Structure 1
């Protein structure tokens, strides 16, 4: 009888370990398979997630923020071969704008491998030289039932563009994305902003495009503090974050290199009234979310933000690595609660694995 009881208890313990959420706590990662560049929103009682899978645009939905292993999945878009956006589909995001749903994503035509006749123009190796930004449009009250169709390429002046996001402001709609100074730079990767006429049409001319952040600080470079040149120095993965109480507006973005242990989150705050004026942005001089070697949490970045089911808590969803020596393949998706400092800036926790308390209102 004792052996049978021990066997039952052991099996129960194993089952609990295989499910990262119990009645009151959860552990990271929140999706057992690997994943990167997570985008999560909450709409009508559901959480919706997208992340990079390279091949298509898929949408997941779940009632539970902290466990996506049994989430439903829906294919929104699979490009035909041979198009400028057929391969390396990265960092898709789902936005509700003016009563319609839009997906903004990065893609290229040939698996991130330009011909030598193109790459020879770059000062440094530039495999992503043909990456551009694209949009899907969906009509309907729910993204789960909306019919999504390819809408357009977002104009980035025939230059490298990845990790684009929509930035909504009282003065209009904007596109913030990772860019180069010139077509064949290769490095550094900066943050650019342009004004949009609508979610699929850029209103700014090339001369009006503005660069609002460049990787000049030691922790934005790879290796850390690189002084000899700008190769591998990156600003990317921008995301809008607004303090719900003060109205302060931030862009939280990723810095350094995404396959490296030093990948981290940085912060811009809009301290003026014009998003197109670089002087109206203030950059925090230190990373705001970074590796935690004590818990083997490395390469933490490319985040999105949502709330608990009851709306009382703010949550960050991001990717990170436990073994930084395996690079991009080691990334998994995690979630943690964050709060706010007295000055209205976000206060992010140290990244880790938990166990953590589940979001407030989650059953």
Structure 2
């Protein structure tokens, strides 16, 4: 081999080693559920359910998290009503502060028999409520976080709460029961807030805007005998950046099951507190893809590519649905918009996919 040829090979290898990745494959994280991702300045931020605390990750890549930085931003003290089973944390920037909203309970999801006996069905989550942590500062990474308090849900079951902003008003949308000891079904409730930690609506003003009514919202698929395991949960606001149409993308069925999927509500009126102002899509908008062993896909959050030209969804799913909750991993895929302004989600899969524009 001549000296010039050897040098050319070394240059080519070095160039290849340092060239940016153009594709990625799912999952982007090998474990995790209920992902919440957002972009702020030059970083993507991610948090998800780990049951014990709220941990924040950051990366300059939407799809590369193996070497991401991480820090715990909220560690509950033992013995409190919010000390165990911390689920579905989200972080929202509202009026210059970072508001962390999450679900928790006091007993590792295990109420005493004297409480659970009131439920028509088994109701281990009867003590789950919504809580808020606030972060002071312009940057979510360096903000100082402190516990703010419980977000009032009328002393009833509440999980997967999110903030919904419409006009000048702030709302809380979460998964709820009809009554305190129902157990099932899980519906979508909305209340009006006066600030991110204070409910302004009275209990009589609370509205249920979606119930599991279709076969795909029930577990097993199409269960007809009762409402056990029928769920609407994991609501997320999604706004069409061109038309301004407002959607609520939620999860349906049960999260440890192959049939977990995404449903869609569209706000077609002016008042989110009026159930008639919401229009429900009769079919799931994102659902299992058995041909690629992509099951139990749901609880999505939404962000954009680094250059802002693409819309992306981040969600959890499973390859082996027989392993239930422990099988969930975090995935990402690009989505588009239909001519009528509704989101056009892809089939879930593993790729390889093109990396986001600008990454």
Q: What band does the TM-score fall into relative to the shorter chain?
A: over 0.9
1:28 matched residue in structure 2: 26
Q: Kindly state the Cα deviation for residue 321 of structure 1 after the two structures are TM-superposed.
A: 0.2
Q: Kindly state the Cα deviation for residue 152 of structure 1 after the two structures are TM-superposed.
A: 1.1
- Number of equivalences: 344
Q: 2:249 aligns with which of 252, 273, 277?
A: 252
How far, CA to CA, are the matches of 2:32 and 2:119 in structure 1?
30
Query: Does residue 71 of the first structure (1) align with residue 71 of the second (2)?
Result: no
1:132-211 aligned at under 5 Å gives the runs 132-211=129-208
Q: Kindly state the Cα deviation for residue 23 of structure 1 after the two structures are TM-superposed.
A: 1.3
Q: 1:51 aligns with which of 48, 53, 74?
A: 48
Q: 2:84 aligns with which of 65, 84, 87?
A: 87
How far, CA to CA, are the matches of 2:163 and 2:66 in structure 1?
28
How far, CA to CA, are the matches of 1:275 and 1:136 in structure 2?
25
Structure 1 residues 237-268: Cα deviation after superposition (integer angstroms, max 9, x where no partner): 00000000000000000000000000000000
8 Å CA contact 1:171, 1:274 repeated in 2: no
Query: Does residue 38 of the first structure (1) align with residue 35 of the second (2)?
Result: yes
Query: Does residue 288 of the first structure (1) align with residue 285 of the second (2)?
Result: yes
1:226 matched residue in structure 2: 223
How far, CA to CA, are the matches of 1:196 and 1:128 in structure 2?
24
8 Å CA contact 1:259, 1:327 repeated in 2: yes
Query: Does residue 312 of the first structure (1) align with residue 309 of the second (2)?
Result: yes
How far, CA to CA, are the matches of 2:235 and 2:196 in structure 1?
17
1:6-17 aligned at under 5 Å gives the runs none
How far, CA to CA, are the matches of 2:250 and 2:150 in structure 1?
23
Structure 1 residues 122-163: Cα deviation after superposition (integer angstroms, max 9, x where no partner): 000000000000000011110000000000100000000000
1:334-345 aligned at under 5 Å gives the runs 334-345=331-342
Q: Kindly state the Cα deviation for residue 355 of structure 1 after the two structures are TM-superposed.
A: 0.2
How far, CA to CA, are the matches of 1:75 and 1:232 in structure 2?
32
Q: Kindly state the Cα deviation for residue 270 of structure 1 after the two structures are TM-superposed.
A: 0.1
Q: Kindly state the Cα deviation for residue 22 of structure 1 after the two structures are TM-superposed.
A: 6.0
Look up the SS of the partner of 1:166 in the other structure.
Answer: strand
Query: Does residue 325 of the first structure (1) align with residue 322 of the second (2)?
Result: yes
Structure 1 residues 215-242: Cα deviation after superposition (integer angstroms, max 9, x where no partner): 0100000000111110000000000000
How far, CA to CA, are the matches of 1:215 and 1:71 in structure 2?
38
How far, CA to CA, are the matches of 2:40 and 2:297 in structure 1?
26
TM-score by length of 1: 0.94
TM-score by length of 2: 0.95
2:274 matched residue in structure 1: 277
1:297 matched residue in structure 2: 294
How far, CA to CA, are the matches of 1:31 and 1:262 in structure 2?
21
Q: Kindly state the Cα deviation for residue 171 of structure 1 after the two structures are TM-superposed.
A: 4.3
8 Å CA contact 1:131, 1:161 repeated in 2: yes
How far, CA to CA, are the matches of 2:310 and 2:21 in structure 1?
18
8 Å CA contact 1:267, 1:283 repeated in 2: yes
How far, CA to CA, are the matches of 2:233 and 2:171 in structure 1?
16
Q: RMSD of the TM alignment (CA)?
A: 1.3
Runs of 4+ in structure 1 off by over 6 angstroms are: none
8 Å CA contact 1:262, 1:298 repeated in 2: yes
